[in-house]
Chains A and B, each alone.
Chain A
Amino acid sequence: MRSVHEDVCHMFVDSFTSVSEKITGFSLEYNEEEKEFQSAQNVKIQSVGTFRASLFFSMDKDFEQAVFLAMAKNISSKEELKELMIGEFINIISGHALTKINNLSGKTSRLTVPLVGPACWEDKEKFPQQCTVFFQSAYGKMRMDMGYECDF
């Protein structure tokens, strides 16, 4: 039987690998081993409520561009929309994972609006549980760092 800690990480990994393709049309695979890459964009999103978490994502330039173009559906390639699209990508997938956590726990937690930009993960030490996972697509790489605690 998996621990709560493993379940939480797996819920996010499952959501990223299963929902990403619905948004962008290309798949995202989970990698256990660290893949080095040059981070071009960061996104931070938090969960507040009974499941408190801070999630920090970093992605390389190619991955960021591929997600943006797929989400803009060739209707627009306006650079100023890029951060909004990347934030929405993270918001949708994190929302799917948090939905599973809420439904399983019977408790309520909510997501904050994602922050996109050259931020650092300043509240990492606040959380007793940590996990780091790596994702790879045909177009590039992404890393997720998550710190969390829960009341259930």
Chain B
Amino acid sequence: MKKSVLVVDDSPFVYYQLKDMIDGSDYEVIGSARSGEEGIEMYHELKPDVIILDIIMPGIDGLETAEILLKENKDIKIIMLSSLFDANLMNDVKALGLKFLLPKPLQKDVLFATLEMLEKK
């Protein structure tokens, strides 16, 4: 059975990129949310195996969204994504208890290596 992925990003670019990259793999994109608020709703509805969550978004940003989701379920698997990926932001991500911050644009080999590491978490 394929693992399900929910994309939360205000731009559709990552959704298209991801669909293109994971086509034919053990993963499938089951939904796309355009804001943190919508992402939380879709998480409740779809219960995806993995969430790919952008940081810079209007409304509640990705860090706040992750914090809300992790309060509900500390075992939720989240990969943070951002065009900005400096050391301070990585520290913010780690402070939430998350390990992965991927730079945009996604690179296929980096994405699959991260998904593999997430499986072993």
Contact = CB atoms under 8 A, between A and B. Distances in A.
Interface of A: 19, 22-23, 71-73, 75-76, 81, 84-85, 87-89, 91-96, 98-99, 102-103, 108, 110-113
B47 to A, nearest CB: 25
Interface residues of B, number: 23
Interface of B: 10-13, 16-17, 19-20, 56-58, 82-89, 103-105, 107
A113 B10 contact: yes
A85 B13 contact: yes
6 contacts: A72-B12, A72-B16, A95-B82, A95-B84, A96-B103, A113-B56
Given A99-B85, A108-B88, A111-B83, A92 B56 contact: no
Given A84-B11, A84-B12, A108 B83 contact: no
Contacts of A71: 13, 16
A110 B19 CA distance: 28
**Chain A interface SS verdict (over half):** helix
Contact of A94 (B16, B58, B83, B87): B83
Given A113-B56, A113-B57, A102 B13 contact: no
